[in-house]
Structure 1
Amino acid sequence: MSDIKLFFLTLIKITAAFSVLFFLAACERNRPVTIAVTPVYQQQVLACNKAFSHMGESWRYQQLQFFISELDVFAKAVDSSPDQAKNSWRTWPLLESEFQSGNVALLGQVCSPGGNQSSVGNWQLHLAPAFELSSISRIRFTLGIPFALNHQNPLTQKSPFNVPSMFWVWRTGHKFLRLDMVSDDDNWLFHLGSTGCPAVSPVRPPAEQCRQPNRFQFELAFDSKKPELLLDLSRLLTQVALTSKKSCQSAPDNPHCRQILANLSGPGSLLFRGSDD
C-alpha cells in the first residue's frame, strides 16, 4: 500500500472515531437526567415498614411523601454561547409525568398495610437535559409548593396536585411533607404545610401569603458521577420524642412543633444531603 493511501486510510479512521465520540457526546447531552432520592436514618437505608431505632425504640414509617420545587443548579448550560459559558445558578426543568408538574415533584411512598411493598411510590427526580452534568457543582431546591400553586382548586388539579392524602383544605393548601410512623405500641405523625392563611372560609384560597409559609430551602454539593439525594430522618427527628401526644401538624401554637421546625430551619440544616456528605 502506498504512503498516500495509508495516509488517507488513517485519516478516515481518525475522522470516523471523532464522529462516533461526537455522536455519543451529543446523545449524552440530550439524555434526560435521573436523580435518585433515598430515605435514610443516619447510615441505614429505609423502606416501607423497615424498622429503625430512634431514642431506643423501634419505629417504621407508613407514609413518607414530600414535595420538592424551585430546583436550581450552579452549572453551565448545554451548548451555551461564549458569553454564557460561565457557571451560574440556573433553573433545572422537571419533565412532566405522573409525579412531576409545573416544576414541582412529589416524592416518597405510601406503604401497603401489613406488608413491605409500596402501593404508591416515587423515589426519582426526572430532569431535562439542560446542563453539562460535569459542570454542575451545587444544587438547591425548596421543600414545599410555591404559593401560586399551593392554593388552586383541588378538584381541577392534575397529578401530583390531586393526591387527597397530601392536601388539607383549599385555604391552607397541600401538605409539603407527610410522615406517618408507628411503633409496636404507639404512633406519631408530622404534617408540614402553610398555616395562618387569610381566607374567608376553608374552601376559599387566600389572597396573600400565609403568616407561616413553612417552606424550607436547601443547598448542597452535587456529585455528577453519582446524582443522589438522601433524606435523613435522623436530622429531622433530632431531639424529637415520638409519641402520639407529641404529633405535629404545623400549628404555630403547638409546642411539639417547635423542635422539629427548628430542625428544618436551623443553620446548616441537613435534612437533605448528598450521598458522600
Structure 2
Amino acid sequence: MNTMWKSARWVLLPTLLLLQACGDDEGSKTYTVRFSPQVRQEALTCEGLYTDIGTSRSTIELLDFEMFVRDVTLVRANGERHPLKLEQDGTWQRDNIALLDFEDGTGTCRTGGTAATRREVVGSAPEHDDYTRLEFKVGLAPERNHLDYQVETAPLDNRDMWWGWQMGYKFVKLDVRTPANAAYVFHLGAVGCKGSVGEGYTCASDSQATIALDDFSPEKNQVVLDVAGLFSELDVNRVPNGTSDMMAGCMSNAGDPECPALYSQFGLAPDGSPKALPKTFFRVR
C-alpha cells in the first residue's frame, strides 16, 4: 500500500505543480496605458500650428517628440500597487522600459522623423476594477542609461535617443519650431557624467522623474502631455545670447535659464532632485 502511494504521489506531483503555475497567472489581465500629446485640448501633430504658447503668446510647430518611461504601476483604491509586466514586443518595450514616439514623419517632422509611432504602454497586472492611480518614471535607471546603443536590442538601440556628449540616453526629446527659433529644444537626461562602459559612470544628476497621477483608470483614462503647459512659463521666442544662454531651449544644464521651468513640469528641481509635480504638463483625461 505504501509503495502504491509513493507511485501515485510521483504521478500527481507534476499535475499539482502545473495547476499551481496556472493559479499564479489566474486573474491577470492585459492593460493599456495610453498617452495623448496635446496643446491644451487639441491633439499635437506634425501638421499643426499652435498659437498662444508661453509668456510671449507665440506659435509652435512640432519637429520631434519621444520619451522613455519605465516601472509603470497601477495602484488600487486601497493603496495596493501592481507594476505592469510589460509585453516584450521586440520593438517598443523591453523588460520594464517602454519607448513612446509621438511624431509620424509627416509635415514638420519629415526631417529625421519616422512613420512608426507609439502612444501606449501595454502589460499585464492582476484584474481589478478599482485602479485609481497611475505611477511611472520618466527615463532610464542609472544602471541602464550608459549602454552602447549600437549593440543593444530595441528600444535601446534607438540612435535618435542616444546622447553621445552625455554618454547616455535622452529620456525626453521634444523639439519644436517657433517664429524666432528654427529649433527650440528640450532634452532631458542625466548630466555631468564621467566614466566608461567597462568601469561604470557617475553623474552629477541622474534626473530621475517620478510621475504620479490620481483619478486614473486604465480602462477609462489617458495621460495627457500638454505642451502648452510645459512651455507656460517660458518665452519660446527667446533668442540665445551666446554666453549665459547658449541655445534655444534646454539640454539639461542647470545653468541654462530655461531649464528650471521645464524641469519643474517633471517634478524636478534644477539640480535634478524631486519636487512637487504641477498639473500642467502631465494630467489625466
Structures share fold, TM-score greater than 0.5: yes
Unpaired runs of at least 5, structure 2: 1-25, 241-247, 269-274
Q: Which amino acid aligns with 1:141?
A: F
Q: Distance in 1 between the 2:42 and 2:81 partners?
A: 32
TM-score (norm 2): 0.74
Q: What's the offset of the Cα at 1:205?
A: 6.3
Runs of 4+ in 1 over 3 A off after TM superposition: 28-31, 113-118
For the 8 Å contact 2:63–2:108, the answer to whether it is kept is: no
Q: What's the offset of the Cα at 1:113?
A: 5.2
Q: Could you tell me which residue of structure 1 aligns to residue 141 of structure 2?
A: 146
The verdict on how the C-alpha distance between 1:88 and 1:248 changes in structure 2, with shifts beyond 3 A counting, is same
Q: What's the offset of the Cα at 1:39?
A: 0.5
Q: Could you tell me which residue of structure 1 aligns to residue 3 of structure 2?
A: none
Q: Distance in 1 between the 2:70 and 2:204 partners?
A: 20
Q: Report the aligned-residue RMSD.
A: 2.5
Q: Could you tell me which residue of structure 1 aligns to residue 284 of structure 2?
A: 274
Moved more, 41-50 or 107-116: 107-116
The verdict on how the C-alpha distance between 1:217 and 1:208 changes in structure 2, with shifts beyond 3 A counting, is same
Q: Distance in 2 between the 1:247 and 1:192 partners?
A: 11
Which residue among 80, 85, 107 is the counterpart of 1:93? Answer: 85
The verdict on how the C-alpha distance between 1:184 and 1:70 changes in structure 2, with shifts beyond 3 A counting, is same
Which residue among 16, 29, 32 is the counterpart of 2:30? Answer: 32
For the 8 Å contact 1:109–1:121, the answer to whether it is kept is: yes
Q: Could you tell me which residue of structure 1 aligns to residue 254 of structure 2?
A: 252
Task: Decide which structure has greater helix share.
Answer: 1
Q: Distance in 2 between the 1:233 and 1:206 partners?
A: 38
3-state secondary structure, aligned to 2:60: strand
Q: Could you tell me which residue of structure 2 aligns to residue 66 of structure 1?
A: 67
Q: What's the offset of the Cα at 1:219?
A: 0.5
1:231 equivalent to 2:233? Answer: no
Q: Could you tell me which residue of structure 2 aligns to residue 83 of structure 1?
A: none
Q: Distance in 2 between the 1:87 and 1:258 partners?
A: 32
Q: Distance in 2 between the 1:122 and 1:211 partners?
A: 31
Q: Distance in 2 between the 1:111 and 1:206 partners?
A: 38
Q: Distance in 2 between the 1:113 and 1:206 partners?
A: 42
For the 8 Å contact 2:194–2:201, the answer to whether it is kept is: yes
Q: Which amino acid aligns with 1:188?
A: Y
Q: What's the offset of the Cα at 1:252?
A: 2.3
Unpaired runs of at least 5, structure 1: 1-27, 77-85
Q: Could you tell me which residue of structure 1 aligns to residue 101 of structure 2?
A: 108
Q: Distance in 1 between the 2:220 and 2:213 partners?
A: 14
Moved more, 170-179 or 142-151: 170-179
Matched residues, number: 235
Q: Distance in 1 between the 2:69 and 2:199 partners?
A: 22
1:131 equivalent to 2:131? Answer: no
Q: Which amino acid aligns with 1:260?
A: L
Q: Deviations over 1:79-136 (max 9, x none)?
A: xxxxxxx6512321111121111111111233425368862311111112x2224121
Task: Decide which structure has greater strand share.
Answer: 2
For the 8 Å contact 2:62–2:108, the answer to whether it is kept is: no
